[in-house]
Structure 1
Amino acid sequence: MPPVHNPDSSAGDLHPAKTPLWTAIILAGQRPEGDPMAAYCNVTYKALIPINGQTMLERVARALIASPDVGKIVIMAQSPEELKSGLSPDLATQDGIAFVASNNGIATSIHNVIGTAIAPWPVLVTTADNALLTGEILDCFFQAHNGQDVAVAVVERQTMLAAYPDARRTWLKFRGGAYSGANLFALHNAAAKPAVAFWSAVEKDRKKGWKIFAHFGPWLLLRALTRTIGFKQAMAQAGERMALRAEPIILPIAEAAIDVDKPDDLELVTGILERREG
């Protein structure tokens, strides 16, 4: 098995240089006590759960490699060497993919590498359980990005329910709609660093939008709770507090917001991929 890339070395380019290409970070770690879904599927790491013949990690990596907007991929986990078994040999040895050891904090680990030779700007962050990621989803995201320092991909509830009426997701509710995260985060330049540092402080509350907005003062929290502010305006105001431009990117593809957090998700994703891949 080839050696793990050292954190102080950069990954090679997957595509010829043109305009600045994105560095894609795949978060593939898990809590020290293990992950319930990994235990459910009898694998060591959640990222190694197989779905229709490929691990989730492989699926995400292949979608990113195929994107003409992605120049480098960084796979981040506590034990990167073990995760190499989740990639086919042609991916595990590719110069364009680096394996970097993370610590126990997701946001801290990201903060340590963004803007360095390991992960030069701009940076796209996604997760290994984003098993339905496709080139179409990535194209929509990159085309909608217009220079925001921080951008977060979401799917509106009506889009999800029109395609999957029984899907159970976590919804952030604002004036004009409710949204579920799509596990794609754009960190465009050094101005995004305060947002990553902030995320480190609120990481445990990531599923509770109101707790996150509480950190920006009572007025924004009140408007979020009473749904008298739209999602875009709320993110813009939060970004202003950190001297950066932040916006949601609303994707028109329901599958973008379906990841694998519980057995029902795995069943849904497996069915989608079996139909998609024949």
Structure 2
Amino acid sequence: MAAAAPGDPGRDRGHAAARRARRPGAHARRQHRRPAGGRRGAGLSLFHHRRPGVGAGRGRRDPANGRRLDAGAGLRQHRRQRPDARRAGVTAKRYTALVLAGRRGVTDPVATSEGIAHKALAQVGGRPLIAWVLDALRAASAVADIMVATEEADVAHAAEGATIVPIAASPAATVALALGTTPSLLVTTADHGLLSPALIEAFCAGVPRAYDIAVGVVPRRAVASGPTRRTFYRLADGDYCSANLYAFAGPRSAAAATFWVGLEAERKNPVRLAARIGPTTLLRYALRRLDLAAAFALLSHRAHAAIAPVVLDDADAAIDVDTPEDLALVRARLSAGRRCDRSP
């Protein structure tokens, strides 16, 4: 085909059309002049009822600002601007809380020193220790319901308002049993005397989206030296202890809880715990070549579940009442004003 000569009317019309197409809003004007389907105004109506950019083809322009739209650009912008509850943390999921209030061993040093049947009944500020834990859970927006696992009638009476469930052979077995009744479980203990709504919300906000179990841990740097002793896991990137906060929500969480039953006896002995996971894990732990992320990756592999740590830089998260010294610390902190939002 011969090229159009300068001054050719067909060529001039083509250049003019190209210039009009580059003008902001030109596409909308063309739609208005040529309604889709032969109905007057149908093209313009369809364009205005879309979210800006959704379904727009490559090369189209936004009539508001003349910027080029690619396919799906408006949808991506809508998703970025839409409040995402899962990223918001505490409102992403509401849990059923399970408070473990069983016994460990025949005698308990706290119960013995206080002359009571169970350490959850130790008086703190004129109230049972477990009452402080329940107050914190009730005040946390991430908690929908509360269950207390106990076999003690006095503890059940002190936990008035909560659902009482039976305990199994071990805390992990109790969790596995409870997971048969609820898909999302937040687990803590009846002796977590300094638990607060803020601490619960911080933990829940740190729980990743795709997980089966989340485990709260506290770095040594956050724990001040004092009369209480904690069990620390010495890792390559720092030392960590348990926060006695766990979230179970994934499809494999029940199976992972069963795996936890086998490890539970070694929870206070990090070396033995590492050995139970595997000899390579033990060697890496002994040489301090195992960091927090790698430790949980190995744990996830052995448990066939996604297990993630949630690091809490709050010393109160590390305090559970295992000794009379722990109880004295909790009493001192609460009498000094560290009280949960719904305490009297």
Unaligned runs of 5+ in 2: 1-90, 340-344
**Superposed counterparts of 1:74-223, under 5 Å:** 74-79=147-152, 81-87=153-159, 92=160, 94=161, 97-116=162-181, 120-147=182-209, 148-161=211-224, 164-165=225-226, 167-223=228-284
Please list the CA deviations of residues 223-254 of structure 1 after superposition, one character each: whole Å capped at 9, or x if unmatched. Answer: 11211011122111210222211121110111
Q: Which amino acid aligns with 1:43?
A: I
Given candidates 247, 261, 265, the residue that maps to 2:308 is 247
Indicate the residue corresponding to 1:6 in structure 2: none
Deviates more, 1:50-59 or 1:107-116: 107-116
CA contact (8 A) 1:115 1:190 kept: no
2:97 match: secondary structure: strand
- Say whether the 8 Å CA contact 2:223–2:315 is kept in structure 1: yes
In 2, the alpha carbon distance for the partners of 1:104 and 1:220 equals 28
**Counterpart for residue 56 of structure 1:** 129
Contact 1:78 1:103 in 2 (8 A): no
* Residue 328 (structure 2) pairs with residue 267 (structure 1): yes
User: How many pairs are equivalent?
Assistant: 248
Task: State the Cα deviation string for residues 83-126 of structure 1 (Å, max 9, x = none).
Answer: 13324xxxx1x3xx21012133222122112132xxx1211110
Q: Runs of 5+ in structure 1 lacking a partner? A: 1-17
Bigger relative contact order (CA 8 A; separation at least 6): 1
Say whether the 8 Å CA contact 1:171–1:178 is kept in structure 2. Answer: yes
User: How many percent of aligned residue pairs carry the same amino acid?
Assistant: 31
CA RMSD of aligned residues (A): 1.8
Q: Is the 8 A contact 1:160 1:167 kept in 2?
A: no
TM-score, length-scaled by structure 2: 0.68
Q: What amino acid maps onto 1:85 in structure 2?
A: H
Among candidates 41, 46, 52, match of residue 114 of structure 2: 41
Change (3 A) 1:78 1:136: same
Question: TM-score w.r.t. structure 1 length?
Answer: 0.84
Contact 2:218 2:241 in 1 (8 A): yes
State the distance in 2 between where 1:35 and 1:266 align.
Answer: 13
Would the alpha carbon gap of residues 238 and 61 (structure 1) be closer, same or farther in structure 2, given more than 3 Å must change?
same
- What displacement does 1:213 show? 2.1
Tell me the distance in 1 between the aligned counterparts of 2:183 and 2:95: 7
- Deviation for aligned residue 1:166: 5.2
Q: Is the 8 A contact 2:168 2:177 kept in 1?
A: no
Cα–Cα, structure 1 residues 268 and 200, in superposed 2: closer, same or farther, change >3 Å?
same
Change (3 A) 1:258 1:32: closer
* CA displacement 1:116-156 (0-9 Å, x = unmatched): 2xxx1211110000010001111110110013211111111
> For 1:170, what is the secondary structure of its paired residue?
coil
